[in-house]
Amino acid sequence: ASAVMAAACGRALLVPFGGRFWACPRAPLRSLTAAAPLYDVVVSGGGMVGSAMAAALGHDIHFHDKKIALLEAGPRKEYHLPESYSNRVSSISPGSATLLSSFGAWDHVCSLRCKPFRRMQVWDACSEAIITFEKDDLDDMGYIVENDVIMSALTKQLDAVADRVEVFYGSRAVGYTWPLPSHSCDTSPWVQIELADGRRLQTKLLIGADGHNSVVRKEAEIQNIEHQYDQSAVVATLHLSEATDNNVAWQRFLPTGPIALLPLSDTASSLVWSTSHEHASELLTMDKESFVDSINTAFWSNVNHSDFTDAAGAMFRSVLSLLKPSGTAMRQLPPSVAKVDAESRAVFPLGMGHATQYVRHRVALIGDAAHRVHPLAGQGVNLGFGDIACLAHHLSAAAFNGQDLGSLKHLLRFETERQRHNVSLIAAIDLLKRLYSTSLVPLVLLRTWGLQATNALPPVKVRFFFCTR
């Protein structure tokens, strides 16, 4: 009878919070849950974003007496820095580097290896338009770091707070049971988690960091707007023809998709080439020499230029140089590639996704579970790190005020802040992807003039740059 009443009360509560509470009474009776250990926060997903979230909370002073758990399906990996570079790298923004250093992980990254870059050149294959980004004080704009290096640094910092953060390796969550709204009688108010090996956990707050196919998001029945792109990304580790300063990140928009060369060292760079599925499998299977040739041709060839767009672009540039003499730049060419590392070529499909809600009562989504973007802006993991900085800030304040960590009040504040930041950026990246996927003359003209104008107008350029921090 009390469960029925509780369910009825629950339904009445749905209206004000717009359906953030659970509609079906699925919470188990108190007696069944007595044995399962209770955690203050459980992070589901031990990738870069999940591990960083657990580490950030574990090192927070207001979480000193709290119990945190991190669930990772894979085994624990002992990392020894190999000679060759891994083909999975990320572009880490200065803001993300600040987050990582806030709990001591950035020092480990620097002591392993990372490559700072000072300039970014982005240009079109269909015209002469280019845009370059660099900081006035010639400071580091960002860092190219292998994902394995970041994971190793995070694992080290998790070990440092092992008394607070318990990492469950080889543990996949197979089921979640959601609590009823707070004022019911006999049912547990916590989230119940069932692991594949039958173990059960309870938690006051569940953070879903389990990637773009998030189980937490699906079980929470949060709607996801998603779209599979008609592109795959080819990654590889490349060796340059000759050693150079190599502190520039290069990206050229081809009609089939953007190709990017990210510096790893003075002699090596990482390739991220987004292209059609057919071309991607061709690139994967062709011999090494042809692969290297394709890359150099992609960066150097002007075959996609048309006289019309060249003339139109040149005319626009001369107009701009009248208004703003320093606003035009000459296109520089990236270093040429000599060879590709054996076994370093790989392909993965690309898509875009955005969850309509990031939070529910006692649940929050971060990283790819909440949003997935095209790699053309190098923002994927930085958005995730931005989520962590924001959520950790709100949870820390809530802990210092003695509040219930799973309360929607501060979770909604996190959601509002991050959605405000993420939605416009994700839409802009998607728009850029579509705009640059065509060689139709009017659109080429539009983006040529747009790019040239943006390059010439510092306020717009600076705003775009800071947006992607």
Where on the chain is the footprint of other proteins (CB under 8 A)? 9, 13, 16-17, 30, 38, 61-66, 181-183, 185, 188-190, 399-404, 407-409
CB of 418 to other proteins, least distance (A): 20
- CB of 63: closest distance to other proteins in angstroms? 7
Q: How far is the CB of 400 from other proteins (least distance, A)?
A: 7
**Between 9 and 338, whose beta carbon lies closer to other proteins?**
9
Least distance in angstroms from the C-beta of 323 to other proteins: 47
Query: Residue 123 or 190: which CB sits closer to other proteins?
Result: 190
What minimum distance in Å lies between the beta carbon of 42 and other proteins?
15
Q: How far is the CB of 191 from other proteins (least distance, A)?
A: 12
State the minimum distance, in angstroms, from the CB of residue 366 to other proteins.
23
Residue among 15 and 322 whose Cβ is closer to other proteins: 15
Q: Output 142 or 189, the one with its CB closest to other proteins.
A: 189
Query: Distance (Å, rounded) from C-alpha 364 to C-alpha 359?
Result: 4
- Residue 189 or 257 having the CB closest to other proteins: 189
The distance of closest approach from Cβ of residue 255 to other proteins in the complex, given in angstroms and rounded to an integer, is: 51
Smallest separation (angstroms) from other proteins to the CB of 183? 4
* C-beta of 65 vs 242, nearer to other proteins: 65
User: Closer CB to other proteins, residue 36 or residue 298?
Assistant: 36
| Cα torsion 438, 440, 441, 445: sign | negative
For other proteins, the closer of residues 13 and 151 by Cβ is 13
Closer CB to other proteins, 2 or 321, in the complex: 2
Nearer to other proteins among residue 341 and residue 404 (C-beta): 404
SS (H, E, C) the chain: CHHHHHHHHHHHHCCCCCCCCCCCCCCCEHHHHCCCCEEEEEEECCCHHHHHHHHHHHCCHHHCCCCEEEECCCCCCCCCCCCCCCCCEEEECHHHHHHHHHCCHHHHHHHHCCEEECEEEEEECCCCCEEEEECCCCCCCEEEEEHHHHHHHHHHHHHHCCCCEEEECCCCEEEEECCCCCCCCCECCCEEEEECCCCEEEEEEEEECCCCCCHHHHHCCCCEEEEEEEEEEEEEEEEECCCCCCCEEEEEEECCEEEEEEECCCCEEEEEEEEEHHHHHHHHHCCHHHHHHHHHHHHHCCCCCCHHHHHHHHHHHHHHHHHCHHHCCCCCCCCCEEEECCCCCEEEEEEEEEECCCEECCEEECHHHCEECCHHHCCHHHHHHHHHHHHHHHHHHHHHCCCCCCCHHHHHHHHHHHHHHHHHHHHHHHHHHHHCCCCCHHHHHHHHHHHHHHHHCHHHHHHHHHHCC
Three-state SS sequence of 267-333: CEEEEEEEEEHHHHHHHHHCCHHHHHHHHHHHHHCCCCCCHHHHHHHHHHHHHHHHHCHHHCCCCCC
Q: Tokens 């998001």 identify what position?
A: 217
Q: Minimum Å distance from CB 216 to other proteins?
A: 22
How far apart are CB 448 and other proteins at their closest, in Å?
48
Question: Based on CB atoms, which residue is closest to other proteins, 190 or 273?
Answer: 190
